Structure 1
Amino acid sequence: MTYDLCIIGGGIVGLATARAYLRKHPGSRLILLEKERGLAVHQTGHNSGVIHAGIYYKPGSLKADLCRRGAAATKAFCTEHAIPFETPGKLVVATDAQEEAAMALLAANARENGIEIEILDQAALQRKEPNVRGIGAIFVPTSGIVDYRAVCAAMAEEIAAAGGTIVQGVTVDRIVEGPESVTIGAGTRVWEAERLIACAGLQSDRLARLAGLPIRHQIIPFRGEYYLVRPEKSGIVRHLIYPVPDPALPFLGIHLTPLIGGALTVGPNAVLGMSREGYARFSVSAADMLTYLRFPGFWRVMRQHLRSGLGEMRRSLSKSLYLAECQKYCPGLDLADLLPYEAGIRAQAVMEDGTLVHDFLFLQSARMLHVCNAPSPAATSAIPIAEMVLGRALQG
């Protein structure tokens, strides 16, 4: 059988794209291939679980629009499928005058994006969060939390109910585009599809190269390490607590995040990963390391961000330094409060010249679209991202 569409990747972007396609084209023949024996195993299942409101993004930008629409769509999807989510709100906390000035720019951004915010002075911050220290904060009441694995499970159920096929545990090792179809192989198994969309996350550059597309970037893994706050201290904050982000970096900084179910995590940092999919501490993949060590863009980005990279590495190796970063705005935390928790790995696309890719990166041919970078917050924005991906893939 030749499928109308094959999607590679069982994370939230791949699943949302499959769901959107079947809603637009009921009765179509769709197959989704996932190399793991489960869905949402990598980036989707290892993030902070935040439904972002979109205050960080340039007014009028694509990311701002996708995030705002994605937050509403995610909450609506959860309501429809009885998936628990909460909206505790987020506090972006300034701890000094420099951060307060940056916070004011962030607040202006939020207002231009049409996002509801409240500016808190030091006294108002203390009333809202007695255990948080700062000279001011932005309160974003619409920021929420959800388990994105549960969202993906519900999307998979929709796909199956609409007649789509999901095959897990198959590692694609060949992609051949012909004039009328694309052949996808995994060992002895072969599938034919009129069109292919690859949403492969941490392996997206490798899938694009496998398909014969010219790539000028590489995925560099950045490891985000979290701690679980011991249960007795999980009520130390009631809201999501974020630092004012450094605009020069693509990461939001170490934050405190309540989880569905009542737990509280702190993190992540952002340290160079030695394995694309090695979540245990000190995981090493020689193949992954050799891949980026041979890539000129890696050395250029390391030189550009050497100081911040060394700081992240020190915090990774020293729990005390990691704690000190948290204590800037939550001084009531102690070393004994930080318990082990599974890390996440972010797929950061880097160009040959060392430029960090902050926006979407697509590679396309006549019958294929490869999503080579879907920037944060891709989980929040997945439903409208899927519409955009389909629009590009099916044009013409």
Structure 2
Amino acid sequence: MLLCGATILVPRAALLTRLLSGLGALRGLSSISANNTYDVVVVGAGIVGLAVARQLLLRHPNLLVGVLEKEAGVARHQSGHNSGVIHSGLYYAPGSLKAMLCVRGAALLYAYCEERHIPYRRCGKLVVAVERSEVPRLRALYERGLQNKVPDLCLLQPHDIQEREPYCRGLLALESPHTGIVDYKRVAEAYAEDFREAGGLLHTGFEVNSIQLVGTGAQAPIELLSTGGARIQSRYVVTCAGLQSDRVAQMSGCSFQPSIVPFRGDYLVLRPEKAHLVRGNIYPTPNPSLPFLGVHFTPRMDGSVWLGPNAILAFKREGYGLLDFDAKDTWDTVLNRGLAKLLFRHFKAGAAELLRSFSMAATIKDLQRFIPEITVKDVARGPSGVRAQALDGEGNLVDDFIFDGGVGALGSRILHVRNAPSPAATSSLAISEVIVDEVEQKFEI
């Protein structure tokens, strides 16, 4: 394979291999190219990894691109265990990359869902102030949303709130009518279909446990070894490993900071006969002194309504049950030097989150601030998700993109996406543009 100017030239044999492999992929197969080599390999088939692989082939259809995923299918973790909300970009600092990517990403996602006939609902959102102390914060959030160019925001008085949400009570609400809901697993599957149709290959059941250069020199390939012994080589590697992003980055010599601390969020589900109590998303006024948003009401595409979530430490990075435990994951979390500082700063809030994990009544009490009619009898325990929260050594939640490479010759050929912060699912198409820009610049593609 030759690097000529800004274009990677692929030999004829590789092009033939790609054609035959692409035909197999269109039939739903996941086969490795004849010589197990690629121009670019993306590690991780969550919504961000798939969006990046898709975008890379849209821009550079001459490349051989593969995606490696340790699970049996796509979107098995964060991408398939989230609230399903299409966020509008209210909360983020004006001018920040997160704010711009969310606003642009939401617009791109709605257009993509229309194009691919993926069901969604633009059901809107109310951010509600229920206490006088929350009103100034809500007005500040409204101003922030205007600066972020979130469309059609407005403030609602109590009678307007009840027109939108008849059972909701509040002193003031911020309405974001373009907030919506979608099934992100279905979106991720559509990205995977686009990727395959463009000639990309998706390899499931490939858990990367080693990344190393084979030989020396500028042409030396990178070899990725799986737990099962399979090997794949590539000229360049991009990792979007989510809950495992810190561990994968360390395989190429990167620092262990920022590290991933898993937080599990547990939801309650409103019983079907009570689903009429909620029309759209209802969120609390955020408290900037707390690390997480608080419980809220989230309608789903299947007609159900989720209530929550809490946010507590998980003792297994990919464990969705209350008692799920993994010794290595727990050990890494306990030894994280920033965690103790985070817990000390937010001890009271953390204790409240833990209480809500075991007590439905405690969660219902929070929810009744907005909809007094809800009782414990109206809910059942629902699903859970685990959030990959990047944490620095001082106990600060990392709230921005972190790109990393590693050391030496290997580091110049790898791009690790160590943190793609929420709302990454909403912003996935916009995020993929930024990451592929970074890929093109770093790898001179």
TM-score above 0.5: yes
Instruction: Using the TM superposition, give the Cα deviation of residue 273 of structure 1 relative to its aligned residue in structure 2, in angstroms.
Output: 1.0
What's 2:3 paired with?
Answer: none
Say yes or no: does 1:206 pair with 2:242. Answer: no
* Alpha-carbon separation, structure 1, partners of 2:290 and 2:398: 11
What's 2:425 paired with?
Answer: 379
Query: Residue 27 of structure 1 contacts residue 163 of structure 1 at CA under 8 Å; is this kept in 2?
Result: no
Question: What amino acid is the match of 1:149?
Answer: K
Query: Residue 3 of structure 1 contacts residue 194 of structure 1 at CA under 8 Å; is this kept in 2?
Result: yes
Within the candidate set 194, 200, 221, 1:164 is matched to 200
With the length of structure 2 as denominator, give the TM-score of the two structures. 0.87
Say yes or no: does 1:292 pair with 2:330. Answer: no
Say yes or no: does 1:55 pair with 2:84. Answer: no
Distance verdict in 2 for CA 1:177–1:105, change over 3 Å: farther
What's 2:223 paired with?
Answer: 183
Within the candidate set 316, 326, 329, 1:275 is matched to 316
Q: Could you list the per-position Cα deviations for residues 242-281 of structure 1 after superposition, in whole angstroms to 9, with x for gaps in the alignment?
A: 0011223342211111111211111111111111111012
* Alpha-carbon separation, structure 2, partners of 1:98 and 1:376: 27
Of 64-73 and 184-193, more deviation after overlay is shown by 184-193
What's 1:234 paired with?
Answer: 275
Instruction: Using the TM superposition, give the Cα deviation of residue 379 of structure 1 relative to its aligned residue in structure 2, in angstroms.
Output: 0.2
* Alpha-carbon separation, structure 1, partners of 2:48 and 2:104: 15
How much identity, in percent, do the aligned residues show? 42
Question: What amino acid is the match of 2:421?
Answer: P
Question: What amino acid is the match of 2:75?
Answer: A
Say yes or no: does 1:134 pair with 2:174. Answer: no
Of 42-51 and 281-290, more deviation after overlay is shown by 281-290
Alignment map for 1:316-355 (pairs within 5 Å): 316-355=357-396
Question: What amino acid is the match of 1:184?
Answer: L
Instruction: Using the TM superposition, give the Cα deviation of residue 78 of structure 1 relative to its aligned residue in structure 2, in angstroms.
Output: 0.5
Q: Could you list the per-position Cα deviations for residues 295-351 of structure 1 after superposition, in whole angstroms to 9, with x for gaps in the alignment?
A: 211212111221111110111111100111111111111112211211000000011
The 3-state SS of whatever aligns with 1:183 is strand
What's 1:39 paired with?
Answer: 74
The 3-state SS of whatever aligns with 1:342 is strand
Question: What amino acid is the match of 1:87?
Answer: R
What's 1:93 paired with?
Answer: 128
What's 1:360 paired with?
Answer: 401
Say yes or no: does 1:19 pair with 2:59. Answer: no
What's 2:307 paired with?
Answer: 266
What's 2:180 paired with?
Answer: 144
* Alpha-carbon separation, structure 2, partners of 1:294 and 1:57: 31
Within the candidate set 260, 272, 292, 1:219 is matched to 260
Larger radius of gyration: 2
Q: CA RMSD in A?
A: 1.1
Q: Could you list the per-position Cα deviations for residues 143-162 of structure 1 after superposition, in whole angstroms to 9, with x for gaps in the alignment?
A: 01000011011111111111
Query: Residue 27 of structure 1 contacts residue 162 of structure 1 at CA under 8 Å; is this kept in 2?
Result: no
Q: How many equivalent residue pairs?
A: 396
The 3-state SS of whatever aligns with 1:380 is coil
* Alpha-carbon separation, structure 1, partners of 2:249 and 2:256: 7
Q: Could you list the per-position Cα deviations for residues 5-51 of structure 1 after superposition, in whole angstroms to 9, with x for gaps in the alignment?
A: 10011100000000000100113211101111111111111111011
* Alpha-carbon separation, structure 2, partners of 1:269 and 1:6: 36
